Amino acid sequence: MSIDIREVTLFRVRKDLVREFETSSHRKNYIEHVLVKATTVHGMVGWGEAASPVDPFYCYENTDSCWDTLRRYLVPTLLADTFKTPADALAASHVTGHPFAHAASDMAVWDLYSQTQGLPLTDALGGTQREVSSGVSLGIERTIDDLLEVVALHVRDGYRRVKLKISPTWAYEPAKAVLDAFADLVVQVDANCGFDASDLDSPVFTKLDRLGLLMIEQPFAEDDLLSHATLQRRLDTPICLDESITSLEMLRVALALGAGRIVNIKVSRLGGVTPARAVHDACLDAGIPVWCGGMHEFGVGRAANLAIASLPGFTYPSDLSGSSKYYETDIVEPAIVAHQGMVVVPRERPGLGLQVLEDRIRAEATETITMASDKI
């Protein structure tokens, strides 16, 4: 059965974060994502989410650029034709870049496609894991005591791995303090491109290397694969690449250079479920372990991430915490929850595997636009 979309509605939804989140580049206290509702000529409904940060500090996209790219280009492309597979729909877009916007339309198409097969997305993708091991990603705090308090809260909730955001002024001391205070905790750090080549000889990396961290994520700029390769040669701790891995092609370059030993796969950063699965497959072939990163997704994007993270190559704990770590209320039912750091992959129904609460989305949306096909 082909995918024949008759109507698409975009919703802009804003939610406050339960706790302010600071990385090496910025601090934020709310999230604003674009949700995509695609309805087929048969009345089947698929959902997607553009989980872009509001401001272009993680990468160049922002909420407005996602809204604009979807409204002007990607939605008209979905409405213009019928597609046999999600890969066909993605290939119909001639928009360069803008992966977060592409991810939203691709997710909606995968939701529809797996429903036409009568399968939950995880099964349609070939997922093998029924639950996904997950940690929490914790922002930079004002003091180390504040950080220890936040870590204690999540340890009490059953999480066994934490990722600490670091920067040139917040790296070794907080990581050491957490390891000293929580002996059984697995700790990794994420610099979000906060260092540059001039830091290569700084003692911070040799000090971090002695801590026995699970990995050091993205110390240098997205394009600076050479500094990542130089540092990886000097460290025992694996470097994990996030921002740098924007495509299968960049993955090949990074692996050829030895720029890292682990890959963070994000459906959003890679531009959809289809390219995320392709990067997973390539990493599995190359013997590179992967895990699933997050962008503070609402339930729709989180369900897609969980489906991807159910593939066999996902062996490290993912950043797919229960929704309550982020928001007071979510837009799906049942709520996504973690028990002892494990999150069940939704597969209660075909498609994303859970119920999307359209009434709540409509009530909360600050902007809504509907576009219809002129095919019929």
Site pattern 329..358 for ligand OSB (x: CB under 6 A): ------------------------------
Residues in 131-170 at the binding interface with ligand OSB, rule: CB under 6 A? 137
SS3 letters for 13-40? EEEEEEEEEECCCCEEEEEEEEEEEEEE
Q: Counting contacts by CB under 6 A, is residue 296 touching ligand OSB?
A: yes
Q: Counting contacts by CB under 5 A, is residue 242 touching Mg ion?
A: yes
* Residue from the set 105, 321, 323, 373 that interacts with ligand OSB by CB under 6 A: 321
Please name which of 4, 1, 180, 30 lies closest in space to residue 82, comparing C-alpha atoms.
4
Residue by residue, DSSP assigns 111-170 as HHHHHHTT-BHHHHHT---SEEEB-EEE---SSHHHHHHHHHHHHHTT--EEEEE-BTTB
Q: How far is CA 77 from CA 91, 255, 291, 313, in A?
A: 10, 34, 31, 32
Tell me whether residue 183 is exposed, middle or buried, using C-beta atoms within 10 angstroms of its C-beta: 0 to 12, 13 to 18, 19 or more: exposed
Helix axis angle, 225-234 to 248-257, nearest 10°: 40
The residues pairing with 162 across neighbouring beta strands, listed in sequence order, are 136, 187
Q: Counting contacts by CB under 5 A, is residue 222 touching Mg ion?
A: no
Site pattern 60..99 for ligand OSB (x: CB under 6 A): ----------------------------------------
Active site members: 165, 266
* Residue from the set 32, 49, 190, 222 that interacts with Mg ion by CB under 5 A: 190
**304, 269 in Cβ contact below 8 A?**
no
Q: Counting contacts by CB under 6 A, is residue 242 touching ligand OSB?
A: yes
Closer to ligand OSB by CB, 135 or 350: give it. Answer: 135
- Segment contacting Mg ion (CB under 5 A): 40-48, 171-179, 217-225, 278-286? 217-225
**105, 99 in Cβ contact below 8 A?**
no
- Segment contacting ligand OSB (CB under 6 A): 66-74, 220-228, 292-300, 349-357? 292-300
Q: Counting contacts by CB under 6 A, is residue 293 touching ligand OSB?
A: yes
Q: Counting contacts by CB under 6 A, is residue 319 touching ligand OSB?
A: yes
**185, 179 in Cβ contact below 8 A?**
yes
Q: Counting contacts by CB under 5 A, is residue 141 touching Mg ion?
A: no
Q: Counting contacts by CB under 5 A, is residue 297 touching Mg ion?
A: no
The residues of the shown chain that bind ligand OSB, judged by CB under 6 A, are 58, 137, 190, 192, 242, 293-296, 319, 321
The residues of the shown chain that bind Mg ion, judged by CB under 5 A, are 190, 217, 242
